[in-house]
Amino acid sequence: MRELLVASGSNRDQREVRLGKVFVGHDWAEAHHDVFVEDCDGRRLGSGRLPEGVEGVARFHALVGEHVDDTAEVVIATETDRGLFVGAMIAAGYTVLAVNPLSTSRDRERLSISGAKPDPGDARVLAELARLDGHNHRPVAGDSEPVESIRVLARRHQGLIRTLQR
């Protein structure tokens, strides 16, 4: 297993990220997620189009679980740092890297002859970014327990307001 220890953040926020043995590109769309899974040598381990929601998250865990025993061995590169899927990945213990879409675009040009933007192709580009360039991207931090509690209360409050307005 190839491991790379990376210091991330500013001088005030020195975090170390252990990049693992499986790298995943995650390309988000409104109704689905395209993922591409590769090993530390860039060999394709799997890929797929996963549905939005709990079913997609479960299928992702199954896909990646075939190759690792510990979620800490997985690095996921994605262009978004929010949403159910990303939140579930962080909560499960995966390292999730937020990648600027311009970085993905530049690497797409490097890895593709046509430069076209097929979603499954972007998932591959993102997996390559995680593997080769992960040290240059920031890991997405999960919310602290107090922040998560506030979020739950705020959602409940919104639900109550909607109920009263009916």
Q: CATH no. for residue 102?
A: 3.30.420.140
Give the range of the structural domain holding residue 46, as residue numbers without chain letter: 4-165
Cα angle at 46 between 42 and 48, to 5 degrees?
125
Residue 66: both structure tokens together? 């075939």
H-helix or E-strand spanning residue 55:
helix 54-65
Number of folded domains that form the chain: 1
Predicted confidence (pLDDT) at residue 127 exceeds the cutoff of 70: yes
Residue 38: both structure tokens together? 């590769």
The pLDDT tens digits of the residues spanning 10-32 come to 443 444 444 568 999 999 887 89
The pLDDT tens digits of the residues spanning 78-118 come to 988 888 888 888 888 899 998 887 766 666 656 655 545 55
d(CA 139, CA 142): 9
In one-letter notation, the amino acid at residue 98 is A
